[in-house]
Amino acid sequence: MQEMIRVDNLEKIFYSQSYMEIKALTEVNLSVPGNEFLCILGPSGCGKSTLLRIIAGLETASSGKVFYNGQEHTKPRREIGMVFQSYSLMPWLTVLDNIALGLEFAGLSRPKRISIAEEYLDMIGMNSFGKAFPYELSGGMQQRVAIARALANNPEVLLMDEPFGALDAYTRIVMQKELLRIWEQHKKTILFVTHSVDEAVYLGDRIILMSGSPGRIKKDIAITMPRVRERRNPLYGKLTEELLALLEEA
Amino acid sequence: MHKTIKTIILSLILPVLLMVIWQFSAWQVNNAAIIPTIGRVVENFINASDNFIGLGSIPRNVGVSLIRVLSGYTAGVLIAVPLGVLMGYSKTVQIIFETFINIFKPIPPLAWQPLALAIFGVSSIASLLNMPFGQNYVFWGNFKIAMVFLIGMGSFFPIVASVMFGVQNVRQTLIDSARVLGASEKDIFFKVLMPAAAPSIINGLRMGLAIGWACLVGAEMLPGSLAGVGYLITHAYELARTDLVITGMICIGLVGALLDSIFRIIANKYFSWESKTR
């Protein structure tokens, strides 16, 4: 499969208030082929969110480059969508208008974008919630809408920054299943940041394990276990334990 | 239904108590120049269309005051809202204006009175528009530039502060998610920042109008004023017509509360999402 995202020797330095250099990322190299479900796993503060934000074009790298489809890329673009951890829906817009937001920015007429948004509302199984406002929805529903909103723009790549991190355990498992279903149906490349080993093992084709201060890629693990992965499968448990041990060292 | 009755009863306890104390003290003092009875004040409202102490009817005075406040307020809003938005949007604009504004902010609008009078004199909307002398001139002559300035000053500061706060405090995630959806800078401004800041802007407009209205009495003490509730109050005081003073005060209170409730209705209708989010 063709390479979709490439990250070359990326480095990110922040400056603290007292002008101390803080190296958030160093020597990050990454190649993501099309249609891959890549999980980026690491402890809090290892720079995995920063990496995702740089790939999205929301932050600039201190040095190194990001390529999308072979072209160098520094600014947000419609082909790369993103789902945030929480509270990213426009609270003054209805669910349907939120899903249609990217299409509005693209200049589509209202009837057109609403009809597309309705398709995606259907995809997330929330037909009866089109006219609801975000504050009327549960956290899981809000994240569903955020995913539908990103997909309605028909991006090639979907960046997900701990999208289920604020959900309760049960909702989280339901959402993981649903995300896999959507991914298989829509054939997107997904970069999924998480600090949950279980989530990474359940979802990923491949897991990039990161370690902190400065953030770097520690290990690149392909997961060949067929889907749907059963958590009671001994292989699943073995993988989880291995990763947990690695994470402890990280 | 039961609940609304309870709310009404509870909110009426203090006003009724005040009226009882008022009436009781009026009987005790027995001097209408100090505390008139409630009856005297109610009488003024019943005969609201009478010509009071040569200043015309109560509705006319309220109307004149209202136009004064609204013109000063409009001037304040037209400057404060765009400035507040720019200050919230651009750090540079904020730095340029903030210290400057902070120096002027603590000066009460009333303290501007002598200076306003010195600068604008008795020029009015009528003289500004070069109206020919006549009935129109007399009417529009009521609206002195100095008054408009004072009221505008009063409403300016709360609006600027609230608008700037609203624009600055738009959640970064909202801006980021619009960016990744392909929003241009213009989209970010009009489709994210403005609607997200709208509740703060409305709140600023509400506070601005309340303060502008509260500056009324000060503004109407300026010379050249011949009508308005504020003028009615000062003039009635000079004639020891305390009943009229109280009548004017009640008018100011009622109209102020009415204007405020208009904003409350707008906020509840269009911005209910704001109080329910988070």
Region A169-193: mean pLDDT is 92
CB proximity B175 to A under 8 Å: no
B172 contacts in chain A (CB < 8 Å): none
Q: Using CA atoms, how far apart are residues B206 and B212, in angstroms rounded to an integer?
A: 10
The DSSP output letter for A238 is H
Region B61-68: mean pLDDT is 90
pLDDT 10s digits, B79-133: 999 999 999 999 999 999 999 999 999 998 888 888 888 888 878 888 888 888 8
Q: Using CA atoms, how far apart are residues B145 and B224, in angstroms rounded to an integer?
A: 11
Q: What is the CATH number of the domain that holds A196?
A: 3.40.50.300
Q: Does B99 fall in a domain?
A: yes
- Are residue A95 and residue A70 in the same domain, yes or no? no
Domain-terminating residue out of A125, A154, A183 = A154
Number of domains in chain B: 1
Q: Which residue of B has its CA nearest to A98?
A: B178
pLDDT 10s digits, B210-230: 999 888 877 887 776 778 898
pLDDT 10s digits, A78-95: 999 999 998 899 999 999
The pLDDT of residue B86 is 95
Does residue B32 have a pLDDT over 90? Answer: no
Strands A189-194, A157-161: pairing kind: parallel
Mean pLDDT of chain B: 89
Between positions 182 and 211 of B, the ones with CB within 8 A of A are: 182-184, 187, 191-192, 195-196, 198
Q: Does B105 fall in a domain?
A: yes
Block residue for tokens 């649903």:
A178
Q: Does B18 fall in a domain?
A: no
Number of domains in chain A: 2
Q: Which of B86, B151, B81 is nearest to B113 (CA)?
A: B151
**Which amino acid is it at B239?**
L
Does residue A182 have a pLDDT over 70? Answer: yes
- Are residue A184 and residue A248 in the same domain, yes or no? yes
The helix or strand, by DSSP H or E, that contains position A190, with its residue range, turns out to be strand A189-194
Does residue B235 have a pLDDT over 90? Answer: no
From residue A4, alpha-carbon distances to A72, A157, A174, B70, B182 in Å are 12, 8, 28, 59, 19
Does residue A172 have a pLDDT over 80? Answer: yes
Region B39-59: mean pLDDT is 85
* Distance of residue B193 Cα from the nearest chain A Cα, in angstroms: 11
Does residue A1 have a pLDDT over 80? Answer: no
The pLDDT of residue A101 is 96
- Dmax (CA) of chain B: 75
Q: Coil, strand or helix: which one is B142?
A: coil
Contact predicate B175/B188, CB 8 Å: yes
Block residue for tokens 């204007």:
B259
- Are residue A200 and residue A100 in the same domain, yes or no? no
Block residue for tokens 């999924």:
A192
Q: Using CA atoms, how far apart are residues B71 and B78, in angstroms rounded to an integer?
A: 11
Give the angle B64-B65-B67 at the CA atoms, nearest 5°.
65
B271's tokens: 């911005």
pLDDT 10s digits, A18-45: 888 888 999 999 999 999 999 999 988 8
Region A163-174: mean pLDDT is 90
The DSSP output letter for A128 is G
**Which amino acid is it at A229?**
R
B173 contacts A84? CB cut-off 8 A? yes
Q: Using CA atoms, how far apart are residues A115 and A96, in angstroms rounded to an integer?
A: 9
The pLDDT of residue B111 is 87
- Are residue A58 and residue A113 in the same domain, yes or no? no
Does residue B18 have a pLDDT over 90? Answer: yes
Q: Using CA atoms, how far apart are residues B256 and A82, in angstroms rounded to an integer?
A: 47
Contact predicate B61/B228, CB 8 Å: yes
% pLDDT > 90, chain A: 75
Region A109-122: mean pLDDT is 94
The pLDDT of residue B278 is 54
Q: Which of B76, B64, B220 is nearest to B147 (CA)?
A: B220
- Are residue A42 and residue A162 in the same domain, yes or no? yes
Q: Using CA atoms, how far apart are residues B189 and B180, in angstroms rounded to an integer?
A: 15
Q: Which residue of A has its CA nearest to B270?
A: A92
Does residue B269 have a pLDDT over 90? Answer: no
How far, in whole angstroms, is CA B2 from its chain's centroid?
34
DSSP secondary structure of A61-103: -SEEEEEETTEE--S--TTEEEE-SS--S-TTS-HHHHHTHHH
Contact predicate B161/B204, CB 8 Å: yes
Q: What is the CATH number of the domain that holds B98?
A: 1.10.3720.10
Q: Which among B180, B187, B196 has the least Cβ separation from residue A80?
A: B180
Contact predicate B247/B193, CB 8 Å: no
- Are residue A126 and residue A26 in the same domain, yes or no? no
Q: Which among B182, B277, B278 has the least Cβ separation from residue A106?
A: B182
Please state, as a whole number, how many other Cβ atoms lie within 10 Å of the Cβ of residue B259.
Answer: 19
Q: Coil, strand or helix: which one is A3?
A: strand
Region A114-120: mean pLDDT is 94
CB proximity B277 to A under 8 Å: yes
- Are residue A162 and residue A233 in the same domain, yes or no? yes
Domain that holds residue A236: 1-79+157-167+174-250
Mean pLDDT of chain A: 92
pLDDT 10s digits, A47-60: 899 999 999 999 99
Does residue A166 have a pLDDT over 80? Answer: yes
